[in-house]
């Protein structure tokens, strides 16, 4: 009691105490009772709080001052501060809840503005479009790879097809020539003539030559080729020249008699026919340039050979003799002079050309008809002659009646459009004059 009275007197002498002037390390206690130890077990409010609710504060537990120690009778059963210690206990101090202390209130985040929302929407759309574009690129890459594969395989197939077609186009005629006619050379010749015939026919069709004329030339070639194949295949010409040789050249050897007879007779006949045709053509022209000196060569050479052969047959010379060479040279010079003089005359130039052409044709026919070809070779010759006749017939057809080149050119000019455009311009110019009348 004496201690309490002394403190009351000291408080009266010091006057009222400002709560804010209380020492920071002095615990908060009620005016009538022991210090509030917070029944929940938490530390006093003015003590440092632990960093975590699950960890006790570091360091030794603080003890109250000796003069303010809790009486023993209250230490065993502390009363909660919220229940109060009586009428003089003072205001109740709520005890902190178990767990971490609540922090300061965080203000709610500010709502995004319109510009931010528009930007977010735009970014989302861009992302969506970009995803679709990337997907499309991936699919297009796969499609491109598939297209490349298909194109590569198609290229290989086309190349193989072209190679096969080339192989068939080249190899088939050779095979047929070897199989049917006994030689690949015939297949090569037939294939070449056939391709030339196709080229000529396509060219004539392109310039509007009637298909009937092309077809007529084809039929003529088939007919001539069939006749030649039958005649040569059966050796009819060889037998005929053998019979003619028995009558004309009985003194010649039997193995060369058909050929010698053909070489003597056919060139002469062909030269006469060719000379007459050239003379008629020269008379129709009635003028022109003198003939070339080269035109006399075939006729002069044939005359030289014929002179030597007839001299040898007449004198019985069977082998080479210098006399035959002299006779041949004499015949060559005489024939060349005569033909050259005739060629200087404009009409005679056509005559000389016809004679020389007839000689060449006669020699070819003589060799071709005097030999005994047999069935296979005769058929091959017939096919070649038929193809050649088809080509010659088309050339003659276009030469005798050439196409109208002006009409052909007009096919590639849009003349109707040009005329209609001109009429429209004239009509517009008539209704919309460039200068107004004064």
pLDDT digits (tens, 9 = 90+) for 116-153: 888 888 888 888 888 889 988 898 998 989 999 999 99
Choose the weakest-confidence range: 77-81, 213-217, 344-348: 77-81
Question: At residue 437, does pLDDT exceed 80?
Answer: no
Question: What was the pLDDT predicted at 199?
Answer: 94
The pLDDT-based confidence of 435 (bands split at 50, 70, 90) is low
Rama region for 235: left / alpha / beta (φ>0; ψ in -120 to 50; rest): left
Return mean pLDDT, the chain. Answer: 77
188-211 pLDDT, tens digit each: 999 999 999 999 999 988 888 888
How many Å apart are CA 160 and CA 42, to the nearest integer?
97
- What separation in angstroms does the CA of 202 have from each of 208, 209, 274, 395? 10, 10, 32, 12
CA pseudo-torsion sign 352, 356, 361, 362 = positive
Mean pLDDT of 295-303: 88
Question: What was the pLDDT predicted at 106?
Answer: 63
How many Å apart are CA 253 and CA 320, to the nearest integer?
16
Residue 416 tokens read as 């109707």
The pLDDT-based confidence of 54 (bands split at 50, 70, 90) is very low
> What residues does each domain of the chain span?
236-372
HSE of 99, CA atoms in CB hemisphere, 13 A: 3
* Helix, coil or strand: residue 73: helix
Choose the weakest-confidence range: 93-97, 258-262, 282-286, 317-321: 93-97
378-404 pLDDT, tens digit each: 999 999 999 999 999 999 988 888 877
Residue in 39, 31, 124 with CA at minimum distance from that of residue 79: 39
Question: What was the pLDDT predicted at 218?
Answer: 93
Report the percent of the chain where pLDDT is more than 90. 24
String of DSSP letters for 392-438: HHHHHHHHHS---HHHHHHTTS-HHHHHHHHHHHHHHHHHS-SS---
Give counts: helices (H), strands (E), the chain.
13, 0
Question: What was the pLDDT predicted at 289?
Answer: 64
Residue in 268, 253, 247 with CA at minimum distance from that of residue 312: 253
Choose the weakest-confidence range: 5-19, 27-41, 51-65, 257-271: 27-41
String of DSSP letters for 299-318: HHHHHHHHHHHHHHHHHT--
Question: At residue 297, does pLDDT exceed 50?
Answer: yes
How many Å apart are CA 432 and CA 438, to the nearest integer?
15
The answer for residues whose C-beta is within 8 angstroms of residue 136's C-beta and 6 or more apart is none
Residue 323: Cβ within 10 Å count: 13
Residue 354: Cβ within 10 Å count: 25
* Helix, coil or strand: residue 290: coil
How many Å apart are CA 438 and CA 425, to the nearest integer?
24
């Amino acid at each position: 009691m004496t201690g309490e009275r002394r403190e009351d007197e000291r408080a009266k002498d010091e006057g009222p105490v400002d709560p804010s002037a209380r020492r920071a390390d002095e615990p908060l206690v009620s005016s009538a009772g022991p210090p509030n130890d917070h029944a929940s077990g938490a530390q006093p409010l003015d003590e440092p709080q632990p960093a975590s609710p699950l960890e006790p504060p570091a360091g030794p537990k603080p003890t109250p001052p000796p003069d303010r120690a809790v009486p023993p009778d209250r230490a065993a059963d502390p009363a909660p501060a919220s229940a109060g210690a009586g009428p003089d206990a003072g205001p109740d101090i709520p005890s902190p809840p178990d767990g971490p202390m609540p922090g300061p209130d965080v203000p709610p985040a500010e709502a995004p503005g319109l510009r931010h929302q528009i930007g977010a929407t735009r970014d989302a759309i861009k992302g969506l479009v970009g995803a679709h574009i990337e997907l499309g690129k991936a699919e297009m890459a796969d499609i491109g790879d598939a297209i490349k594969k298909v194109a590569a395989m198609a290229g290989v197939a086309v190349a193989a097809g072209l190679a096969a077609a080339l192989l068939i186009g080249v190899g088939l005629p050779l095979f047929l020539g070897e199989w049917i006619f006994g030689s690949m050379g015939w297949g090569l010749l037939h294939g070449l003539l056939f391709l030339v015939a196709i080229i000529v026919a396509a060219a004539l069709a392109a310039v509007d030559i009637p298909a009937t004329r092309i077809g007529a030339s084809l039929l003529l070639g088939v007919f001539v080729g069939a006749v030649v194949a039958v005649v040569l295949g059966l050796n009819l010409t060889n037998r005929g020249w053998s019979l003619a040789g028995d009558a004309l050249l009985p003194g010649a050897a039997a193995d060369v008699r058909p050929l010698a007879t053909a070489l003597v007779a056919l060139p002469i006949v062909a030269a006469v026919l060719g000379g007459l045709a050239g003379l008629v053509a020269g008379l129709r022209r009635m003028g022109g340039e003198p003939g070339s000196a080269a035109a006399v060569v075939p006729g002069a050479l044939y005359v030289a050979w014929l002179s030597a052969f007839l001299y040898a047959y007449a004198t019985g010379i069977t082998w080479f003799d210098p006399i035959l060479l002299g006779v041949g040279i004499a015949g060559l010079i005489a024939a060349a002079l005569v033909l050259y003089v005739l060629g200087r005359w404009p009409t005679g130039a056509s005559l000389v050309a016809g004679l020389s052409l007839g000689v060449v044709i006669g020699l070819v026919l003589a060799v071709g008809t005097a030999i005994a070809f047999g069935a296979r070779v005769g058929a091959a010759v017939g096919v070649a002659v038929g193809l050649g006749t088809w080509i010659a017939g088309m050339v003659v057809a276009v030469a005798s009646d050439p196409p109208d080149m002006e009409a052909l050119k007009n096919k590639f000019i849009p003349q109707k459009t040009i005329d209609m455009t001109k009429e429209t311009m004239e009509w517009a110019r008539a209704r919309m004059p460039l200068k107004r009348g004064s």
